[in-house]
Structure 1
Amino acid sequence: MEFIFHAHEGVVQSNGNSVRVAIDGQNPFVLPASCIYRIEMKEPQGDVPGQVVLVTSPSEGNPTGRILFSVDSHQYSEAQAFDQALRSMGQNITGHINPASGISNMSVSDIPSGQTKKLAWWIPVVSGFTALVLGVALGWGFTQMHAEHTLKEVVAAKDVEIERLDTSLNSVKAQLEAALGRDAGQGAGGDSGTSGDTEGRPNEEISNGGITMKLLESGEEPSISFDSCGDGCSNGKFAPKNPDADTKFWVATVEVTNNTKKPLDITCGYPYEIIALNSDNQQYTPIDDLYDVEGNPACNAELQPGTKTKVTYPFQVPLNAKMIGLAFRDIGDWSTDTPAQDNYAVIITDSNYHIS
C-alpha cells in the first residue's frame, strides 16, 4: 500500500520501504524510509499555513538534513496520516542515538598487601595544579563548543529559510514556464488544445493519463449521507451530515475507469488528483474520509485495471460560490516509472463557462 501527502511545494510518497520526494521544478529523489529520522509537524492556524519537516541525514546538498514543506489543513491531515502509516510500518522515524560500542570497561587493580607506599608531599600539589589547569582548559573548551553549536544552529535556521525560498522560487519558475508554454501554443494555433488540457461535458468520458472519468450528476445538497460512527471509523450505519457554518455541499458523482497497470485505492489512497472549480477559478478539494460517504468504495477496496466504479465526491464550498465543474489529473506511479500528467482534464457543468 502506498502513502502520500501533498504540500504547497510538492508531493511526498512512500511504499513503506522507500520515500519519494518530488519538489516542484526539481528532479524527484528517493530515500530509504529508514533515512527519515522523524517528521516534525506544525498545524495550520487560520490563514497561516502549517509546516511539515522531513528530518534526514545531512548531506552535501542539504547540510541541515531538513526538508521543509508548507501545507494547508487538508494537506496537514494527509501528512498526519503519512506519519502514522510510516510508524505503523515500524520504520525508524522517531530518531535515536546509538550508544558508543567497543569501549572496554576499565578498573584499577588493588595494591597488594605489604606494598602500600606513602605518597610524596608534592604529589597532591601537582595533582591539584593539574586539576586546576584541566578545569580551566575544559571550561574554555565547553564555552567554545557552546558558541560553535549556537552558531551552527543559527546557520542551520538560515539554511532552512534559504531552502524554503529556493523551493518556492523553483515552484514559481515552473508555473511561469508552464504558463508561457501554453501562451506560445495558443498564439501559434489559437485554442487548439496545445496546452494538453482536455475539456468535456457531463456524461462524456474524459481521459487523463491512465484515468478515465464520466460525470454522472452534480449539484448542491443540504446534507450528505455519512457513516455515523465518526471520523476514522465505520459501522455501516448512515446519518445526514450537514456542512459547516457559512458553507454548503457541492456533490459530484462520477464513474471512474482504471486504465493504468496497477490496482487503485480510490477512497484511502491518492490515485489521482480531483478538484472542484468555481466561476472565479478557485479550487476545492473533497472532504476527508470519502469511504464514509454512503455508496462509496470501502477503504482499501482496490479498483483493478480495466474495471470501473462509481464514486461520490462531496466538496464543502462557501455559500456564495458558483460551481462550474471538475478537474482531475493522473498523478502517475513512481514505483513503475509511470509519469504524472502536468495538465488537468476538465469537465464543465455550466455551458456559460469555458476553461482554456
Structure 2
Amino acid sequence: MSQVHQQLQSALSSFVDPLIGRDLMSAGVLRRTEIAGKRALIDLELGFPAQRHEQALRTALAAHVQQATGLDAQVTVRWKVSAHAVQSNLQPLAQIRNIIAIASGKGGVGKSTVAVNFALALQAAGARVGLLDADIYGPSQPRMLGSSARPSSPDGKIMNPVVAHGLQAMSIGFLVDDTQPTIWRGPMVTSALMQLLTETRWQDLDYLIIDMPPGTGDIALTLSQRIPLSGAVVVTTPQDIALLDARKGLEMFKKVNVSVLGVVENMSVFCCPNCGHQTAVFGTGGGDRLAQDTGVEVLGRLPLDARIRELADSGNPTVAAEPDSDAAKLYGEIALRAVARLAHGAVEAFPSIEMSDD
C-alpha cells in the first residue's frame, strides 16, 4: 500500500463525526475510497436520515482529508434507514423499521414535549416518522399536534393514523372525549395500547416514536416487554429527585434487554425572556453524573423556555413552528444523535473498502 493510501486511511480512521460519535472506519459507513491523481474520492452511506447533516459532513471531512494528506477530497454521502435488532423474543412489526420509546422515570419532566419535537426533527431530516401516544390516562399529543380529528377505518377493524404536521399519529385522545377521565385498570390500559399500536395502518415508517407513560410501573414495564423496541431515550431534569427516577427507567430497559440510546436533560437552564440571563433552576451537572454512573450518553440539554411550552400548547411544536430557532436546532441534534447511535453504535462486521489508483 502506497504512503498516500496509508495517509488517507489514517485520516479516515481519525475523523470522528459528532453525530455518530466514532470514526468512520469503525462505524462502517465507508463504501468506497479511491485516489485519482491529486483527489480522494470518498463514498459514505449513513444509517440515519442525513438530509440536514450531509453538507456539514462533506465539508468537514474534505477539510480533514486535505489537511492530513494534501489531497482534495470529493465526498459523496448517501443514507438509508434499516431495521435494527429488537428484544430476542419479539418480532418487528410490518411497515415499521424501528420503534423508539421516549420515556421518563417520573412525570413532569417534559417527556411529551421532547417526544413530539424528536419525531418532527427526524421528519425534518428526511425520515418517515410516526408518533404513538401511549399515555392513556393523560394523552397530550392531540393537543400538541393541534388535531382533534378522529381516525378513519375503512373496514371497522384497522384504523388509519391521523396525519398532523406530516407525522402519522395515533392516540387514545383521538378516540375519546378529552374532558372525561379514563378510569381503567392496568390490564385494560395495556390491551388498549397494544391495539393502538397493532391495529393502526402505519405506512412505511423509518421510525415510530412512542411517548411512553411516565414512571416504571406495571404499564410501562409491560409495554417495554411486549413492544419490539429498537431503543429508548430517557428524559430527565437535572435535579436529584428526577435523576433517581431516571436511573430506575434506565434499569427497567436494561432488564428487558432494550438499548438506551441516551439521556436528554430537559429544563437544564431557565432563559429569562426579558434579559436573556440563564439560571440553573434545577441544579447543574445532573445529566453528566447520571451518564458517568450508568455509562449512558447525554444526548443533549434543553432549556426551560416559555416559548417551547407556548408552542406545544398551541398545537405547533417548536420544530414545526420555528425550525430555524436555537431550540429547534437542539431538538434536531438530539434526535439525530440518538438515531446515529442506533445505526452505528455497534457494527458487527465492517464492509470491505476498495482502494485503488486511477
TM-score in same-fold range (> 0.5): no
Higher helix share: 2
Give the TM-score taking structure 2 as reference length: 0.22
Larger Rg: 1
Give the TM-score taking structure 1 as reference length: 0.22
